[in-house]
Amino acid sequence: MNSQKPYDVAVIGAGVFGAWTAWHLARRGQRVALIDAYGPAHSRASSGGETRIIRMGYGADEIYTRWSQRSLVQWKELFAARTQETLFQETGVLWLSGSDDARFRQTVATLTRCGVPFEQMDIKALERRFPQMGLAGITAGLLEPQSGALMARRAVAAVVEDAVQQGAEYRNAQVLTPTGLGRVHHVATNHGEKIAAGQFVFACGPWLGKVFPDVLGARIFPSRQEVFFFGVPAGDMRFAPPALPTWLFQEGLVYGMPDIEGRGLKIAFDEHGERVDPDTQSRIVSPAMMEMVRKYVARRFPALRDAPIVETRVCQYENTSNGDFLIDRHPEMENVWFAGGGSGHGFKHGPAIGEYVVGQLLDGNAAEARFSLETKDTVQRRAVY
Do the domain assignments include residue 283? yes
Angle at the Cα of 228 from the Cα atoms of 56 and 281, rounded to 5 degrees? 100
Are β-strands 93-97 and 246-249 bridged in parallel, bridged antiparallel, or unpaired?
A: parallel
User: Helix %, strand %, coil % for the chain, to 5?
Assistant: 30, 25, 45
- For residues 333 and 330, give the distance between their C-alpha atoms in angstroms, rounded to a whole number: 5
Any idea what the CATH number is for the domain that residue 359 is in?
3.30.9.10
Q: Enumerate the H helices of 267-377 as residue ranges.
A: 287-300, 350-358
Model confidence pLDDT, tens digit, residues 258-291: 999 999 999 999 999 999 999 999 999 999 999 9
Q: What percent of the chain has pLDDT over 70?
A: 98
User: Considering the chain, what is the average pLDDT of its residues?
Assistant: 96
Do the domain assignments include residue 380? no
Do the domain assignments include residue 2? no
Do the domain assignments include residue 246? yes
Q: Give the number of domains in the chain.
A: 1
Do the domain assignments include residue 381? no
Range of lowest pLDDT (81-85, 111-115, 381-385): 81-85
Residue 135: which domain range? Answer: 7-375
Model confidence pLDDT, tens digit, residues 48-65: 999 999 999 999 999 999
Average pLDDT, integer, range 344-363: 98
Identify how many contiguous H helices and E strands the chain contains and give both numbers.
Answer: 9, 18
Angle at the Cα of 292 from the Cα atoms of 289 and 298, rounded to 5 degrees? 140
- For residues 339 and 208, give the distance between their C-alpha atoms in angstroms, rounded to a whole number: 9
Please give the pLDDT value at position 260: 97
Please give the pLDDT value at position 280: 95
Angle at the Cα of 151 from the Cα atoms of 168 and 340, rounded to 5 degrees? 55
Model confidence pLDDT, tens digit, residues 137-183: 999 999 999 999 999 999 999 999 999 999 999 999 999 999 999 99
- For residues 111 and 153, give the distance between their C-alpha atoms in angstroms, rounded to a whole number: 28
Single out the residue of 145, 140, 143 nearest to residue 127, CA to CA: 140
Do the domain assignments include residue 304? yes
Whether residue 1 has pLDDT greater than 50: no
Enter the pTM of the model: 0.97
Do the domain assignments include residue 113? yes
Do the domain assignments include residue 85? yes
